[in-house]
Amino acid sequence: MGSLGRRWTIVGLGGLSCGMGALFWITALTSSVRDAAVSAAPQIRVRPSATLTPLLPSMLSGQAIDLPAAHLSPSDRKIFTQLRNRARTEDWTNLPIGMLTQRVGESFLGSPYQANLLDRASQNTSGQETLTASLQQFDCVLFIETALALEQIFQQPNLTYTQAETLFFKALQQYRYRNGTLGDYCSRLHYFSDWILDHNRRGLVQEMGRSLGGIPLNRSLSFMSQNWRKYPVLVASPTFRTCIAETEAAIDTKNVFYIPTQQISQHYSQLQPGDVVGIVTRMKELDVTHSGLVYQRLDANGTAQSSKTGLMHASVRSGIKISPDLATYVGNVDGAIGIVVARPLPLK
């Protein structure tokens, strides 16, 4: 744990709060970040292979495909099967994508938070990426990516178990890596702005800040390159330091729009369950320090039961939880100036 000025604490490492990159979490000193360590859950690993795009056509058309060299651990497989059975029983298939994403996220409420899951999957500093997931513990971005990948499966209830597991890994890869291509350390989407822009370009999400009347973020990102000594891979490899700096320079943040904190509640009626939210920091060299999913309490017909809109997210202190009012939550995050919003779209 290191410090950043007088009011901030860094827990872990990485380009973005809780999940992208090696893991970077900034939180106010007044928040509790001294939780007991969570024991590591079984990990899912996929050895790097050829690009897995396009994602769905060959699987859904019934054509033969090459399966990734990966399998869920027995405990994660049990959770995976239980979720698929629940999705069939409760007929999640025809839910709008946002409601389905929220339903998947709710399934993990109470699951513990664990930092550095991505980098713990690789025990060396070579910079070669390994596709990693856990269905038992999460950081904030892994929670989002896992929910998005799983909802793709639940839209296809007739897949065999092997097909569903394969689709999960492929979808996860699409959400985590630039152009959906698993490569080296620089192929991972370390900054949330990069995550939104890459996904928006590929039709995986719709950047919503512009249509909501947001303000262009328009800043130069440089946190990782400035603080490379905090990243084991960057310490070990000057090549990756150069690559990260080039990636930062290429992220066009003027095309990412944020909603100022004081205006968030005015847009509740325009937000939808399952929208992806990133909390924007005032730090000029960084974009987002935390993330989660828009949460709205719905009745059986999908009608909101409350005028409030919450945030479902992986909290350091409490694990997966629902903070009941998004604007209030963001207002209490030290250094936050607003939110960016991306709406998930069906993978094609």
193-209 tens-digit pLDDT = 999 999 999 999 999 99
Q: Which amino acid is at 186?
A: C
- What is the per-residue pLDDT for 332? 97
Find the mean pLDDT for residues 173-193.
Answer: 95
pLDDT at 26 exceeding the cut of 50: no
**pLDDT at res. 33:** 29
**Which residues partner with 113 through β-bridges?**
138
Cβ neighbours of residue 243 closer than 8 Å, sequence gap 6 or more: 185, 186
Residue 312 DSSP one-character state: E
User: What's the alpha-carbon Rg for the chain, to the nearest Å?
Assistant: 19
Cβ partners under 8 Å of residue 226, min gap 6: 285
- The reported pTM is 0.82
Tens digits of residue pLDDT in 259-294: 999 999 999 999 999 999 999 999 999 999 999 999
Reported as a pLDDT band with limits 50, 70 and 90, residue 44 is very low
Mean per-residue pLDDT, 226-237: 91
Q: What is the pLDDT of residue 13?
A: 34
Residue 177, CA distances (Å) to 12, 110, 132, 185 in order: 21, 27, 12, 10
Bond into 273 cis (ω within 30)? no
Identify the weakest region by mean pLDDT among 15-24, 155-164, 195-204, 249-258: 15-24
Could you say which DSSP state residue 40 is in? Answer: P
